[in-house]
């Protein structure tokens, strides 16, 4: 071979190798954050109260006055925060006021992050959506349930919350100590509770689906759900005020926001054994960190666009012409419009988190008083230019009490 040609081939090979190494970091490691990322996030979170959108401010004050809204709110559009505020009490009994940095139990908004983690593991080649749960847990008593069916609430499983609660009451077990996801998986294997219906027959929203997904995350990665989410979701997204807190780990969840149920302040909710399982719930966060999560998804820090497109695609028959469920996301669609969102309702907390994909609008409303104030948001949607997401946002198959 001619020396020049041989050298050219060697140099080309080295360049190709170097390029491959630099453009394809290890799939097993989350993308490392840089100083520039921190600066960009800091700029994204800049907000000057004196420049607050006066129409949103007036709307939120009226919602507080007439509907008893108590919670934190953030509204952003095209990379700029238009309004944020902390309104009311974090803990009414002790008269502690909410702060904009207050961490709320996200309830079912946690499902959006669990779904993201599962899709991340899929991108890394560590699991496939058509894999059967029995491949991870041989004692799982149901046939034909795949990861995809869990993600889309089509597994047909019963709701573990009611199943486990019945066992604890019948057997007079200690309700103070939290149980783990594996505890629940073992109970399901032992008692084999009757499923709601056959797999892939209907959309049936319930918490069991994402509790099982979190157990699969732990099985596949060899890490706790809390550890995996911190390293692969929260830290890469810059979510410094977000964590997984389980009663199986903490005697007392280390946050200052208390949930208040039945729309009345005197009903503060004490956490119990059902605050142990995570994945369907169990993530605590702030309105600012949820905005950073939105930004991390939009800029593909966590998932590729092709994967996001599949997550934002309805995988169930459409309800009322507009509503569907993807992979961990509720979906509202209208001609030329798409809003992906999730609601949350658990132990005195009730929330809604909306992301208008076309108009780049993010609305986060986290509340700790379940009084129905979030059912009256039409005017906020009009002010921001987001389609009105109303019917089926809070009601539907199986999510009336455990959203």
Contacts with 13 (C-beta within 8 Å, 6 or more apart), sequence order:
none
Summarize pLDDT for 100-134 with one digit per residue, the tens.
999 999 999 999 999 999 999 999 999 999 999 99
Look at residue 35 in the predicted model and tell me its pLDDT: 84
Stretch 358-382: mean pLDDT, rounded? Answer: 96
Whether residue 394 lies inside any domain: the answer is no
User: What's the domain range around 256?
Assistant: 29-384
How far apart, in Å, do the first and last CA atoms of the chain sit?
Answer: 70
In a domain, 24, yes or no: no
Residue 138 has pLDDT above 90, yes or no: yes
Specify if 56 maps to a domain.
yes
Range ranked top by mean pLDDT from 13-22, 175-184, 318-327: 175-184
The pLDDT of residue 292 is 98
pLDDT at residue 31 in the model: 63
**135-144 — which CB contacts under 8 Å span 24+ positions?**
136/215, 136/216, 136/219, 136/220, 137/185, 137/189, 137/215, 137/219, 139/186, 139/189, 140/185, 140/188, 140/189, 141/188, 141/189, 141/192, 142/195, 142/199, 143/199, 144/198, 144/199, 144/200
Is residue 389 domain-resident? no
Q: Is 375 helix (H, G, I), strand (E, B) or coil?
A: helix
- DSSP summary character for residue 369: B
Is 102 domain-assigned?
yes
Task: Report pLDDT digits (tens) over 148-198.
Answer: 999 999 999 999 999 999 999 999 999 989 999 999 999 999 999 999 999
Give the CATH number of the domain where residue 204 resides: 3.40.710.10
Mean pLDDT of 327-349: 95
How many domains in the chain? 1
| Gyration radius (Cα) of the chain, Å | 22
The answer to whether residue 396 sits within a structural domain is no
Q: What is the overall mean pLDDT for the chain?
A: 90
Q: 10 Å Cβ neighbour count for 39?
A: 10
Report which secondary-structure segment, H or E, holds 12. Answer: helix 3-23
Kindly state whether residue 398 falls inside one of the protein's structural domains. Answer: no
């Amino acid at each position: 071979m001619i020396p020049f040609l041989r050298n050219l081939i060697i140099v080309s090979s080295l360049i190709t190798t170097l390029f491959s190494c630099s453009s394809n970091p290890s799939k097993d490691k989350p993308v490392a954050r840089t100083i520039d990322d921190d600066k960009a996030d800091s700029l994204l979170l800049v907000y000057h109260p004196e420049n607050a959108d006066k129409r949103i401010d007036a709307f939120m004050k009226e919602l507080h006055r007439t509907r008893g809204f108590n919670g934190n709110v953030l509204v952003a559009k095209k990379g700029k925060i238009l309004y944020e505020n902390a309104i009311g009490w974090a803990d009414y009994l002790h008269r502690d006021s909410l702060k904009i940095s207050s961490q709320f139990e996200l309830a079912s908004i946690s499902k959006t992050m669990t779904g993201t983690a599962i899709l991340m593991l899929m991108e890394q080649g560590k699991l496939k959506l058509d894999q059967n749960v029995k491949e991870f847990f041989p004692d799982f008593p149901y046939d034909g349930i795949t990861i995809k069916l869990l993600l889309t609430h089509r597994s047909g499983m019963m709701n573990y919350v009611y199943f486990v609660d019945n066992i604890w009451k019948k057997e007079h077990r200690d309700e103070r100590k939290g149980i783990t996801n594996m505890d629940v998986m073992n109970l399901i294997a032992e008692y084999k509770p009757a499923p709601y219906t056959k797999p892939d027959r209907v959309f049936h929203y319930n918490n069991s689906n994402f509790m099982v997904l979190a157990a699969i995350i732990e099985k596949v990665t060899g890490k706790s759900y809390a550890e995996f989410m911190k390293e692969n979701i929260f830290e890469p997204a810059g979510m410094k005020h977000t964590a997984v807190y389980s009663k199986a780990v903490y005697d007392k969840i280390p946050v200052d926001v208390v949930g208040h149920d039945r729309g009345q302040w005197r009903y503060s909710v004490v956490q119990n054994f059902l605050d142990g399982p995570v994945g369907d719930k169990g993530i605590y966060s702030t309105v600012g960190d949820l905005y950073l999560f939105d930004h991390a998804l939009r800029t593909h820090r966590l998932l590729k666009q092709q994967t996001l497109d599949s997550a934002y695609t309805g995988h169930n028959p459409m309800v009322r012409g507009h509503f569907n469920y993807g992979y961990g996301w509720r979906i509202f669609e209208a001609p030329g419009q798409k809003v992906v969102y999730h609601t949350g309702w658990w132990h005195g907390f009730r929330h809604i988190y909306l992301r208008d994909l076309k108009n780049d609008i993010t609305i986060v409303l986290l509340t700790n008083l379940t009084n129905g104030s979030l059912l009256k948001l039409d005017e906020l949607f009009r002010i921001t230019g987001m389609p009105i997401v109303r019917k089926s946002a809070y009601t539907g198959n199986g999510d009336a009490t455990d959203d």
